[in-house]
Amino acid sequence: MSATELSRPSHGARLERSLCGWGRISHSRARVSTPRTTEEVVDALTQSTGVIARGAGRSYGDAAQNEGGDVLDMTELNRVISIDRERGSITAQAGATIAQMMVSLAPHNLTLPVVPGTRHVTLAGAIASDIHGKNHHRDGGLARHVHALSLCTPTGDCREISPETDPALFYATLGGMGLTGVIVEATLGTEPLAAPWVLASTDRTDSLEQTLAVMSGEERHRYSVAWLDLLAEDSRLGRAVVSRADPWPTGRAAPPSGKTHATYPGSLSPRPWLEVPRGFPGALVRPSGLRAFNALRWRVARNEHERPLALSPYFFPLDALGAWNRLYGPGGFIQYQFVVPSGQDAQLVRCVQLLRKRRLPVYLAVLKRLGQKFGGPLSFPSEGWTLAADLPARAPGLMGVLDELDEIVAGCGGRVYLTKDVRLRREILTVMYPELNRFHAQRARVDPGGVLRSDLARRLGLCEAAP
């Protein structure tokens, strides 16, 4: 059951619920309450022996769950508080979504500088995960654009922090998985929005080698991403549709009517075009069918340049299909996302070949280049290649293969994305994230009793005292 399938309890009531991440696996039960003021958040933190905040439930793994403890559903704290056009900033509450903020910014001809692959992520969740988009190689992750935070901690205070006032705690919170405090409000930088379109270009490649060659060159575009076919056989493995885009140029005429098939900001409405029903039998989605679909998708892609495309379908293509995570059926899925450093192309190829050798069905795979690291000790993005692969959770031998992949990734200086994780071993975490001592030092300051905890934190030892 995802967060969107829960009935929200009124504040004061702590109703026991079964929670899971977007991958719909690793369910656990917790007492869920819904604060509507900062004071209620502080009360919950000081009265609980174990609590974690939760937003829209879009983390794929177990980061926003707390077996046997308390969970704060932050979605009622969702107001956009102010927009400062002169300073180019927006201030909003924790539960405001990417879509809400973009809708509020649109009349001011402004937008967010970084967005993830779904518009339904909440502001606090995006900060706690240090989300990145198709433009990380150029603009970094969300962390780079956060100006200030209002952070409530189990010590009973709610403090305003920024890079100037408390840099150590500020950066530990960026990508900190909600374990340094509960974000109740944040101020982000914005950027001008000349028009609600992008100029998109597409290149089709025939193999993984060619895909890497195309994407390894100097990237002149603002946005870049590749869809990979990891179900293709032999030399076709890793063939791709590489999509690049740039913002619509200031002063350029609007595209002809009908060319972009979406209005803005109306296209940011939470209502999808189609929704996968509850109880969808995952057996209907089989590797053979996906292999044929991938082949068709690759075949119909055309090499084209500067095609007008509306913002929403470019940035949030999967949002057109509501509850798409149900396609995997009751067994759910794992999205395994990792980054390997620049210059480690051979290790990326090795990971892809291992997935094929073990015959794991990778239903969706996305490849991007990331820019320089910025943020806290638990922030995921770092310079190199990042691959996100969706796999059915019940695929035979899956966990063993993911353990093998962990060893390859950690061995070359890479890491997995904790927001997507549901099964990483804690001994590998210390190799992938070598600055854990910095993180534990800040937790000792603001949460000496270890009140902030989640299923992910317990599994990986993140809510324990530093060794």
- pLDDT tens for the chain, 467 residues long, are 344 334 455 555 789 999 999 999 999 999 999 999 999 999 999 999 999 999 999 999 999 999 999 999 999 999 999 999 999 999 999 999 999 999 999 999 999 999 999 999 999 999 999 999 999 999 999 999 999 999 999 999 999 999 999 999 999 999 999 999 999 999 999 999 999 999 999 999 999 999 999 999 889 999 999 999 999 999 999 999 999 999 999 989 988 876 665 689 988 987 888 999 999 998 878 889 999 999 999 999 989 999 999 999 999 999 999 999 999 999 999 999 999 999 999 999 999 999 999 999 999 999 999 999 998 999 999 999 999 999 999 999 999 999 999 999 999 999 999 999 999 999 999 999 999 999 999 999 999 999 999 999 999 999 987 66
The upper half-sphere exposure of residue 337, i.e. CA atoms within 13 Å in the direction of its Cβ, equals 24
Q: Among candidates 118, 153, 110, which has minimal Cα distance to 134?
A: 118
Scanning the structure block, which residue is given the tokens 């798409």?
A: 324
Write down the pTM of the prediction: 0.94
Q: Please count the CA atoms within 13 angstroms of the CA of 76 that sit on its side-chain side.
A: 16
pLDDT, tens only, 153-192: 999 999 999 999 999 999 999 999 999 999 999 999 999 9
The pLDDT, as a whole number, for residue 2 is 41
Residues 6+ apart with CB under 8 A from 86: none
- What residues pair up with 70 in beta bridges, in sequence order? 31, 51
What are the residue boundaries of the structural domains of the chain, listed by start? 197-249+259-428
Q: What is the pLDDT of residue 335?
A: 98
Give the tens place of pLDDT for each residue, 275-287.
999 999 988 788 8
Q: What is 197-249+259-428's CATH topology?
A: Alpha-Beta Plaits (3.30.70)
Looking at residue 123, what is its pLDDT?
A: 98
Please, are residues 63 and 419 in contact by the beta-carbon 8 Å criterion?
yes
